[in-house]
């Protein structure tokens, strides 16, 4: 996504943060609200009525102005930078994914965001050989001009960060950008914020929860031209990152291992299913060099400040709402299919879906799919 036409004001950043931290507003919905209303301030004004029309059982909890100010003050005290979706520093590769974070916080070297990246992920209980290989791969790829991305977890992630500290490495964390997890990585974290960078979409001070890690993984893969898996069980977080990378159109690479080692089952399975077999940095560079030479094409710039679409009459939405709800169920269905079944204009269906989601009655999934919440 190309940069915004002008820098965001402090007031605009505050409104965008409030919208992001509001109940039932996820990354995809945030983008849809911004596109529909043209600004976060206008979207915030519209939220209560949208949620009420969607049949919310209780009033929507909108992020208070004071809470957003406290978060911004905390980040300023950490010398952290807030990077919003249509700002110049936001990486185009990450902006291209459907559920790109509307904002993330960064501590460390902002300039790393403008360089090509590759992710190295793997088992937390990695073998000594696995960690040594991850560190060597990271160092060699860093010397070749790539920023190494990982998740600052134990094992392979930590080894990859250590290997790339000299050249540039970026850690995506599941908790707040100021929260060290696991605790034993405190020393690595301190080096990352001075020699590399740490980023998070989570509010500062928030401790990582299980639900945060898959969301963190989509950012790891979304930033990267490709993902390398070094050891990992078939259902591990590393394999989730590899699946997300494939869904995002990124290269998936894996280091093979012995069939006698359970930690090799994940990467070996990826290779069986088409992932590139990787033994050294030269293998990675052969795959990624064409992508580095031809950077990802940027989408047409999203200008949120442009005039929003013409409002749709309440009577039109009221008439359409039962038809849209009837087309939905507990199983995910594509929005295009809902539009086809309802024979309604896409803009009308989009408003009804927004109402239902803000009311807590609809879940929006990657792949432009939606489903009702039981």
Instruction: Give the number of domains in the chain.
Output: 3
Residues 49-63 pLDDT 10s:
999 999 988 899 999
Question: Is there a domain that residue 2 lies in?
Answer: no
Tokens of 362: 């609809």
For residue 297, name the pLDDT band (cuts at 50, 70, 90): low
For residue 4, name the pLDDT band (cuts at 50, 70, 90): very low
**From CA 309, how far away is CA 233, in angstroms rounded?**
48
Residue 111 sits in the same domain as residue 83: no
pLDDT at position 265, please? Answer: 95
Residue bearing the bigger pLDDT, 259 or 307: 259
Residue 39 sits in the same domain as residue 185: no
Residue 295 has pLDDT above 70, yes or no: no
82, exposed or middle or buried, with CB in 10 Å at 0-12, 13-18, 19+? middle
pLDDT at position 310, please? Answer: 76
CATH number at residue 236: 3.40.50.450
Residue 272 sits in the same domain as residue 343: no
Q: What is the mean pLDDT of the segment spanning 5-29?
A: 92
Tokens of 96: 């291209």
Strands of 263-316 (E only): list them: 276-277
Residue 252 sits in the same domain as residue 168: yes
Residue 148 sits in the same domain as residue 287: yes
pLDDT at position 316, please? Answer: 93
CATH number at residue 355: 1.10.10.10
pTM of the entire predicted model: 0.92
Q: What is the mean pLDDT of the segment spanning 24-44?
A: 94
Question: Is there a domain that residue 99 lies in?
Answer: no
Residue 308 has pLDDT above 80, yes or no: no
pLDDT at position 366, please? Answer: 86
Residue 138 sits in the same domain as residue 239: yes
**Domain span holding position 359:** 314-372
Beta bridge partners of 230: 122, 255
pLDDT at position 305, please? Answer: 61
Residues 118-133 pLDDT 10s:
999 999 999 999 999 9
Q: What are phi and psi of 337, to 5 degrees?
A: -70, -40
Question: Is there a domain that residue 163 lies in?
Answer: yes
**From CA 118, how far away is CA 123, in angstroms rounded?**
17
Q: What are phi and psi of 296, to 5 degrees?
A: -55, 130
Question: Is there a domain that residue 305 lies in?
Answer: no
Beta bridge partners of 144: none
Residues 143-199 pLDDT 10s:
999 999 999 999 999 999 999 999 999 999 999 999 999 999 999 999 999 999 999
Tokens of 178: 């100021």
For residue 307, name the pLDDT band (cuts at 50, 70, 90): low
Residue 338 has pLDDT above 70, yes or no: yes
Residue 169 sits in the same domain as residue 126: yes
Residue 5 has pLDDT above 50, yes or no: no
pLDDT at position 156, please? Answer: 97
For residue 3, name the pLDDT band (cuts at 50, 70, 90): very low
- Report CA Rg, the chain: 21
Q: Pick left, alpha or beta for residue 274 (phi over 0 → left; psi -120 to 50 → alpha; otherwise beta).
A: left
Report percent pLDDT > 70 for the chain.
Answer: 94
Residue 1 has pLDDT above 50, yes or no: no
Hey, CA dihedral for 16, 20, 25, 31, is it positive or negative?
A: positive
Residue 65 sits in the same domain as residue 177: no
- Residue 123 DSSP label: -
Question: Is there a domain that residue 92 lies in?
Answer: no
Residue 334 sits in the same domain as residue 208: no
Q: What is the mean pLDDT of the segment spanning 192-209?
A: 97
SS (H, E, C) 79-132: CCEEEECCCCCCCHHHHCCCCCCCEEEEEECHHHHHCCEEEEEECCCCCHHHHH
Residues 242-292 pLDDT 10s:
999 999 999 999 999 999 999 999 999 999 999 999 999 999 999 999 998
Question: Mapping DSSP to helix (H, G, I), strand (E, B) and coil, where does residue 113 land?
Answer: helix
Residue 139 sits in the same domain as residue 218: yes
């Amino acid at each position: 996504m190309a940069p915004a036409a002008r820098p965001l004001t402090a007031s605009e950043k505050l409104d965008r943060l409030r919208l992001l931290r509001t109940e039932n507003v996820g990354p995809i919905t945030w983008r849809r609200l911004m596109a529909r209303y043209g600004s976060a301030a206008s979207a915030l004004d519209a939220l209560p009525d949208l949620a009420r029309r969607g049949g919310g059982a209780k009033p929507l909890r909108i992020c208070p102005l004071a809470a957003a100010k406290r978060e911004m003050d905390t980040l300023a005290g950490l010398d952290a930078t807030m990077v919003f979706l249509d700002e110049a520093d936001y990486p185009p590769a990450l902006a291209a994914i459907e559920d790109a974070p509307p904002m993330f916080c960064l501590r460390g070297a902002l300039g790393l965001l403008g360089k090509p990246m590759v992710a190295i992920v793997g088992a937390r209980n990695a073998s000594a050989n696995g960690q040594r290989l991850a560190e060597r791969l990271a160092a060699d790829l860093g010397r070749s001009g790539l920023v190494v991305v990982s998740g600052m977890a134990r094992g392979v992630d930590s080894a990859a960060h250590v290997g790339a500290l000299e050249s540039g490495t970026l850690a995506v964390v599941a908790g707040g950008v100021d929260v060290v997890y696991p605790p034993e990585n405190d020393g690595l974290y301190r080096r990352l914020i001075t020699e590399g960078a740490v980023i998070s979409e989570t509010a500062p001070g928030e401790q990582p929860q299980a639900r945060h890690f898959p969301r963190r993984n989509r950012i790891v893969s979304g930033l990267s031209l490709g993902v390398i898996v070094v050891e990992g069980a078939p259902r591990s977080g590393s394999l989730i990152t590899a699946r997300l990378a494939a869904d995002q159109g990124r290269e998936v690479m894996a280091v093979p291992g012995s069939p006698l080692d359970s930690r090799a089952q994940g990467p070996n399975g990826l290779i069986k299913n088409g992932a590139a077999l990787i033994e050294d940095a030269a293998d990675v560079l052969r795959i990624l060099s064409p992508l580095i030479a031809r950077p990802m094409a940027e989408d047409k710039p999203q200008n949120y400040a442009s005039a929003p679409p013409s409002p749709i009459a309440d009577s039109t939405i009221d008439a359409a709402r039962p038809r849209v709800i009837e087309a939905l169920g507990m199983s995910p269905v594509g929005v295009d299919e809902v539009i086809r079944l309802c024979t309604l204009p896409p803009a009308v269906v989009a408003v009804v879906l927004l109402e239902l989601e803000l009311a807590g009655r609809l879940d929006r999934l990657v792949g432009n799919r939606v489903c009702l919440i039981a």
